Amino acid sequence: MTKTAKIRIVTDSSSDIPHDLASKYAIEIVPMYVGYDGNLLKDLFEIKPEEVYAALEAGKKVNTSSPSAGDFIFAFRKLIEQENAQKIYCITLSSKLSAAYSAANIAKKSFPPDMIKIFDSKTSTMCLGLIALQAAEAANKNFSYFEIEKIISELITKNKFIATLENLEYVFKGGRAVFLSKFLSKAIKFIPILNIGRDGRVKLRKFVKNKEKAILEIYSQAVAAAKLNNNNIIGIFYGSDITPAKELERLLRQNTDISISDIIINKITTVISAHTGPGIWGVAVSPKLV
């Protein structure tokens, strides 16, 4: 392992990284935006998920937008000029779900070549967060540029996202469930199990009958993914109800067939909840590489 110049990791607020871990590993979070009632507010910093849920339940139109190139320029410049960063790796929400990747690539043109490298995570929520966390941990341990880039690329390929939505009302209203529209009759009666494919798009895996079946299906998929790795970091995310998250944690911790170095539980940020409503929860499985 070769000691390198100061490396910093940047991601966007859809990554669902707990605040204490973002601070511990000095991860720079660029906020996305949530808007309603004529206001455009910074995700994580100016609005809470509970406010979004209240707005949705009141029938208000809630919009979201990705960070602008200017937002990324501001973040990159701060790290370079104020914190002496000499290399920046920026990992964004899937380019199929957001314009953040495009904006970050525009922003990097304002800086010297090779100083900033942008990665499309091809995933979302805590799957993205676990990539950023391991990259930051590697940077803190003085891994080389080559090693860190290899870790990020491998995690993008191997991370597994599994989630469900208890109520599809909000995604249908927001036009974010086009892939479910042909299953409308089933979507009303049953609970969908969702994955994110290697192309970075949300995929319908199957339907299950109820919440209990959803917990078991997500658990089963998480175990199957974890068995492919020598060791794992598990992220569990949830909307308004932590109960399914705690049950998934219990099931995963008692499974002796898989190796887990850590389980991180966190509430989803406002930008995700604006599209899903409160009834989202799921698991991110990431091979432990650092």
Q: What CATH number did the domain enclosing 112 receive?
A: 3.40.50.10170
Per the structure, how many domains does the chain have?
2
Helix (H, G, I), strand (E, B) or coil at 11: strand
Residue 228 phi, psi dihedral angles, 5° rounding: -80, -10
With respect to residue 1, please indicate whether it lies within any of the assigned structural domains. no
- Asked whether the whole model's pTM tops 0.85, one would answer yes
State yes or no: pLDDT of 178 exceeds 70.
Answer: no
Question: Do 97 and 213 fall within a single domain?
Answer: no
Q: Which of 157, 176, 195 is the last residue of a domain?
A: 157
Question: Do 270 and 134 fall within a single domain?
Answer: no
With respect to residue 29, please indicate whether it lies within any of the assigned structural domains. yes
pLDDT of 169? 65
Question: Do 137 and 172 fall within a single domain?
Answer: no
* Range(s) of the domain holding residue 148: 7-157
With respect to residue 135, please indicate whether it lies within any of the assigned structural domains. yes
Question: Do 263 and 180 fall within a single domain?
Answer: yes
Mean pLDDT of 113-125: 96
Domain with residue 221: its CATH number is 3.30.1180.10
State yes or no: pLDDT of 158 exceeds 80.
Answer: yes
Question: Do 205 and 273 fall within a single domain?
Answer: yes
Question: Do 97 and 232 fall within a single domain?
Answer: no
Single out the residue of 45, 48, 107 nearest to residue 76, CA to CA.
107
Question: Do 219 and 253 fall within a single domain?
Answer: yes
With respect to residue 2, please indicate whether it lies within any of the assigned structural domains. no
- What share of the chain in percent tops pLDDT 70? 91
10 Å CB burial of residue 42 (0-12, 13-18, 19+) is middle
Q: What is the DSSP letter of 146?
A: H
Q: Which of 134, 157, 180 is the last residue of a domain?
A: 157
pLDDT of 2? 38
- Using only the alpha carbons of the chain, give its radius of gyration: 19
pLDDT of 38? 86
99 compared with 56, residue with greater pLDDT: 99
| Average predicted confidence (pLDDT) for the chain | 90
Q: Which of 102, 122, 157 is the last residue of a domain?
A: 157
Question: Do 169 and 127 fall within a single domain?
Answer: no
Question: Do 111 and 239 fall within a single domain?
Answer: no
Q: Which residues neighbour 191 within 8 Å (Cβ) at sequence distance 6 or greater?
A: 164, 165, 166, 207, 208, 209, 210, 211, 213, 214
Question: Do 86 and 227 fall within a single domain?
Answer: no
Q: Which of 11-20, 106-115, 185-194, 280-289 has the lowest mean pLDDT?
A: 185-194
pLDDT of 28? 97
For the record, the structure tokens of 274 come out as: 């604006």
In the chain, which ranges are E strands? 7-12, 28-30, 33-36, 39-42, 63-65, 87-92, 116-120, 160-165, 191-196, 202-208, 232-238, 260-267, 280-287
Question: Do 99 and 211 fall within a single domain?
Answer: no
In this predicted model, what pLDDT tens digit does every residue of 195-231 receive, in sequence order? 999 999 988 888 999 999 999 999 999 999 999 999 9
